[in-house]
Structure 1
Amino acid sequence: MGELLAAPAEAAGGLAVYGALAVDGSAPASTRQALVDSGVPGRLAAKDPTLWGPEAAAGARAGLGWVDTHRRSRELLPQLAELTTELADLDHVVLAGMGGSSLAPEVIARTTGRPLTVLDTTDPGQVRAALGDRLARTVVVLASKSGTTVETDSHRRAYWQAFLDAGLTEAEAGRHFVVVTDPGSPLEAVAAELGAITVLADPEVGGRFSALTAFGLVPCALAGVPVADLLDQAEAFAASLDRVDGNPGLALGAALAAAATAGRDKVALVPDGTGVEGLGDWLEQLLAESTGKGGQGILPVVVESPDSPGLTGTDVLTVSYGGALAAGAVPGAGTAPDVAVNGPLGAQFLAWEYATAVAATVLGVDPFDQPNVTESKEHTAAILAEGPPPAPAPSSVEGAIEVYAPPGAPGDLAGALRHLLGGLDDGGFLAVTAYLDRHADADAARLRPLLAEVTGRSVTFGWGPRYLHSTGQYHKGGPQVGSFLQVTGTVDVDLPVPGKPYSFGELQAAQAAGDRRALAGRERPLLRLHLTERSAGLAQLLDAVGSLRA
């Protein structure tokens, strides 16, 4: 780690990248020099839509606004000040949004220590808990770029009914909603019907690049975050974007690409404990959805802490991140990262967006589309319309777990787990996806480090349906080397979706089944475990995985 500090860091606008030059230098030819020779830094800063080829040009032209959206977002500041004053009595902020509409605000709130309830689930228990929390003081931010997100529409319906059931008039209920969406989206029209305040987002910025637009700023401003600071941090960093030298975003993008093209196509993202909380969850979508397509991609692996399993491997680039390294401090907080990125959150957002776009030029993919995201959505819609297919019989039932082993696998729990883990491809990964309550069933997240320790391989963890809006694109469009463990749970008390013929529990089950159907079409290894009693089933599953270490 001393070598990491001794090597020259690339720094600008308060953000420094350590180790990137060494990663690039380990390649047979410098990726960074090739990028410079192609004029990528200046062309990207100038929003050149031809960087990713002619087929991607139209989408890039419509999606490169993130390069300078932090400047346009300053126009929102007076409106946000008025909004926070007008709604000062509504001090419980609930953000109903998925993917790019919720991940950045959650990072901002966690990093600044401001309370924000993020509702990005269809789990009935989690939705019911949110509805029962300080309803009279709640303002719901409905955030959807397209305006058609099924989860957000369901949340809107549930909250509207809850406000009316609490005795509010329709006019009073409308005051409890703020809508963030693109101009002309269906949600803009719905907002007018509700009588809700609408804040229009930058239409030239895609969802996963929208951290410094209204999607990131509105809920955080309502939660008390000084959002102008984020714009200041991005502005200070933006001066480096067109440089050949002194360009941390270029250094980071070149390192990501150099590693990926040399076979290190997994990026372990680890917090260094210096003031940026949860950035890995936002980076997960940015990297996976931007690069995971056409059989290519960089797989982000969000690691809990510097001492958690799964940080290293022959196919892994280890990257630490933080916000406030003291002078002389060692990046990585005890681990030995290949690359360390340290700086304020506004600069982090812009640096990683730039680096992701740079890496995509090397990989030859369009960073602004998500061609496979709709697959699971379409399967879900079909299941809801047609009704669920006949439920197959479990291959075994052990305690509180029903085992649905794939053909050719042992039917018992331990045997099915060993079969799944033993079948990991060379250079493959295991994705754990949990359609559960990420608060009440939080122990499910312990599966990731346990399985990483057992396998010595890259293991990711995602809450369903949240991950469908992030790593779900990589699962279907990236390299087909993934194995999948899906965990579902019995719903004891369901919750209707007002105005729809299905409940939240039925929607959640359809989303899980839709994703299984999409993965089955790619013939990827998939083991489903259903918890008939969630708490007992999780404890049993954790014990079963732990026993595999023996």
Structure 2
Amino acid sequence: MTSVVTAGGVSVTMRGPVVDEAEAVLDRLVTDGVPASLMAKNAQLWGPEAVEEASRRLGWLDLPETSRPLLPELAALVERVRADGLDRVVLAGMGGSSLAPEVITRTAGAELTVLDTTDPQQVASVVADRLERTVVVVSSKSGGTIETDSHRRVFEQAFRDAGITGEDLARRFVVVTDPGSPLEKTAREAGYTVVLADPDVGGRYSALTAFGLVPSALAGVDVARLLDEAAALVPALHQPYDNPGLALGAALGASALGGRDKLVIADHGSGITGFGDWAEQLIAESTGKEGKGILPVVVEGPDAPGFAEAEDVRRVLLGARPEDSGLGVSGPLGAQFLLWEYATAVAGRVLGINPFDQPNVQESKDNTAALLRGAAEGEAPTVVAGEPALVVGAVEVHAPAELLRGATDLTGVLEAVVAAIPEHGYLAVMAYLDRFADAGAERLRPLLAQATERLRKTPAAVTFGWGPRFLHSTGQYHKGGPRNGVFLQITGESAQDVPVPGKPYTLRSLQLAQAFGDLRALRSRGRPAVRLHLRDRAAGVEQLLSALA
């Protein structure tokens, strides 16, 4: 059986069991009047406890129109920046402030350097590249994001060291933030250009706000087209039938209720680059709470390990109809942003959770702050690590003995990690490394997925995230979602460090504090977690890959 819902340039295809699963849920959503209520911004849709938060987080529904007044401002800003000879755009932002612009610019073939890390090697490399031609977009909804604040301080010092001061320095920064944030105050005092975003839109729903549009426009993208694409979908979202957003939301929610709570996402000719990473944050952070949730698993393609259908997996192909059972979604990027936001909000209602809060994110931040206070008092964050349980070449293994099961080499360690995954559970690989220089670490995901197929009766989902950016994404799911995850954290020695001007810590200290803070949060919840520390990054990554070969 096949069901195809097409409207506004978007198509959602359901095949096989997903049609039957979604049908009853879809009927209930229509009977409850959800499409009209959602488009009318009825905050009651997610229950009385969600009303306060939801009432302040539904502005994304209007963005195809309310973001249009930004366009002349952006055109003037682009003209000014180009006249200043600044043609390299660096975006300093985390989570919702960086993921959408990265998808937008990569899809358009425009150059944007995204800085969403505290890795000192990666930051130093970005700062050293074409500084004389660089404009920095500092993007933070709260205005207090510690990573972004550190990036701003590092770049300010780099410009001063290069002899760029006063008004010339001020013209190198564009700040995107919410009205009244601490960052707005700091930026205006410094004379930076400030673009205010819609405060009624949460970070992960902000693709079509200033957070998505400003850096993309500066990089040379036609952002008006994105708004046009999204606007074409809006009429269908009001309708009870022929509504792709409602159909997709019903399918996601019904699958999770039926036990298929792993959403494996693969691109198959969509023409959109990196969309899975953006969708990962939206879905995981919106649904992963109260012991419930949908876990997105972004894979390399339809033939990648981990894409096979399993009893706890729902597959979605981007850009093509599913070849057998599952979901297929196609359409232009602007419309897809709005489609998935709408569908995620609908899935939240189906699951009985508030899709607009993130109650478990703060704990890792608090742990990081505590460790940094210790560092400021002379206590290095490394003291938290303790002695390794095992050292193999360039790799230190930090884990409870009962989790390692007597392993004496890296193959044994990784097999013990896989063995610890419970039925219908998952493995999360979290790498606090340089995602460009240490990109080989991403190969661990498919290799570990193959290992689950080889060592278990049924394969298990394996995710991969770069730290600390996943803390603003799947980190909420890890701590608030179903208690069935096993966690493999990877940290590494850095060949260099970068001071954070005006702060008593360096980027290396901050990165370690974030890693240890999250590890502490996971272990405090009884989540099985292993930390692998690479004394030499290149050698350590190769050792891990070899252990899985």
For the criterion TM > 0.5, the same-fold answer is yes
- Give 2:153's aligned residue: 157
Check whether the contact 1:50–1:57 (CA below 8 A) recurs between aligned residues. Answer: yes
Give the deviation of 1:394 after TM superposition. Answer: 0.8
Q: Is 1:51 aligned to residue 39 of structure 2?
A: no
Selected match of 1:495 from 488, 495, 498: 498
Give the deviation of 1:416 after TM superposition. Answer: 2.1
- The Cα offsets for residues 496-538 of structure 1, whole Å up to 9 and x where unpaired, read as 1111111000100000000100001011111111110000110
- The Cα offsets for residues 459-505 of structure 1, whole Å up to 9 and x where unpaired, read as 00000000000000000000010000011100121111111111000
Describe the SS at the equivalent of 1:19: strand
Give the deviation of 1:405 after TM superposition. Answer: 2.4
Q: Is 1:270 aligned to residue 266 of structure 2?
A: yes
Q: Is 1:354 aligned to residue 346 of structure 2?
A: no
Q: Which amino acid counterpart does residue 119 of structure 1 have in structure 2?
A: L
- Give 2:321's aligned residue: 331
Q: Which amino acid counterpart does residue 113 of structure 1 have in structure 2?
A: G
Q: Distance in 1 between matches of 2:38 and 2:334?
A: 19
- The Cα offsets for residues 320-346 of structure 1, whole Å up to 9 and x where unpaired, read as 113xxxxxxx635xx646000000000
Describe the SS at the equivalent of 1:319: strand
Q: Is 1:367 aligned to residue 355 of structure 2?
A: yes
Q: Which amino acid counterpart does residue 48 of structure 2 have in structure 1?
A: P
- Give 1:64's aligned residue: 58
Selected match of 1:288 from 281, 284, 307: 284
- The Cα offsets for residues 65-94 of structure 1, whole Å up to 9 and x where unpaired, read as 001112110000000000000001211000
Q: Tell me whether 386-395 or 496-505 shows the greater mean CA deviation.
A: 386-395
Taking structure 2 as the reference length, the TM-score comes to 0.95
Q: Is 1:125 aligned to residue 115 of structure 2?
A: no
Q: Distance in 1 between matches of 2:88 and 2:43?
A: 41
Check whether the contact 2:389–2:401 (CA below 8 A) recurs between aligned residues. Answer: no
- Give 1:326's aligned residue: none
Per the alignment, do residues 434 and 161 of structure 1 end up closer, same or farther by CA in structure 2, a change over 3 Å counting?
same
Q: Is 1:111 aligned to residue 107 of structure 2?
A: yes
Describe the SS at the equivalent of 1:524: coil
What pairs with 1:206-355 in structure 2 (closer than 5 Å)?
206-311=202-307, 312-322=309-319, 331=321, 336=324, 338-355=326-343
What pairs with 1:76-155 in structure 2 (closer than 5 Å)?
76-88=70-82, 89-155=85-151
Check whether the contact 1:24–1:32 (CA below 8 A) recurs between aligned residues. Answer: no
Per the alignment, do residues 21 and 253 of structure 1 end up closer, same or farther by CA in structure 2, a change over 3 Å counting?
farther
What pairs with 1:449-464 in structure 2 (closer than 5 Å)?
449-455=446-452, 456-464=459-467
Give the deviation of 1:22 after TM superposition. Answer: 5.2
Give the deviation of 1:430 after TM superposition. Answer: 0.2
Q: Distance in 2 between matches of 1:119 and 1:169?
A: 22
Describe the SS at the equivalent of 2:236: coil
Q: Which amino acid counterpart does residue 419 of structure 1 have in structure 2?
A: A
Q: Distance in 2 between matches of 1:196 and 1:337?
A: 52
Q: Which amino acid counterpart does residue 465 of structure 1 have in structure 2?
A: P
Figure out how many residues of one structure are paired with residues of the other and give that number: 531
Q: Is 1:448 aligned to residue 438 of structure 2?
A: no
Q: Is 1:10 aligned to residue 5 of structure 2?
A: yes
Q: Distance in 1 between matches of 2:131 and 2:321?
A: 43
- Give 2:510's aligned residue: 507
Question: Identity, % of aligned pairs?
Answer: 59
Which runs of 5 or more residues in structure 1 are unaligned? 323-329
- Give 1:427's aligned residue: 424
Per the alignment, do residues 160 and 113 of structure 1 end up closer, same or farther by CA in structure 2, a change over 3 Å counting?
same
Q: Distance in 1 between matches of 2:16 and 2:145?
A: 41
- The Cα offsets for residues 181-235 of structure 1, whole Å up to 9 and x where unpaired, read as 0000000011112211000001110000000000000000000000000000000
Per the alignment, do residues 157 and 20 of structure 1 end up closer, same or farther by CA in structure 2, a change over 3 Å counting?
farther
What pairs with 1:28-39 in structure 2 (closer than 5 Å)?
30-39=24-33
Q: Distance in 1 between matches of 2:483 and 2:440?
A: 28
Q: Distance in 1 between matches of 2:424 and 2:39?
A: 34
- Give 2:469's aligned residue: 466
Give the deviation of 1:414 after TM superposition. Answer: 2.5
Which runs of 5 or more residues in structure 2 are unaligned? 376-380, 453-458
Q: Is 1:478 aligned to residue 481 of structure 2?
A: yes
Check whether the contact 1:143–1:215 (CA below 8 A) recurs between aligned residues. Answer: yes
Q: Distance in 2 between matches of 1:487 and 1:81?
A: 42
Describe the SS at the equivalent of 1:68: helix
Describe the SS at the equivalent of 1:274: coil
Q: Which amino acid counterpart does residue 159 of structure 1 have in structure 2?
A: F
Q: Distance in 2 between matches of 1:505 and 1:215?
A: 27
Check whether the contact 2:142–2:181 (CA below 8 A) recurs between aligned residues. Answer: yes
Selected match of 1:392 from 378, 381, 386: 386
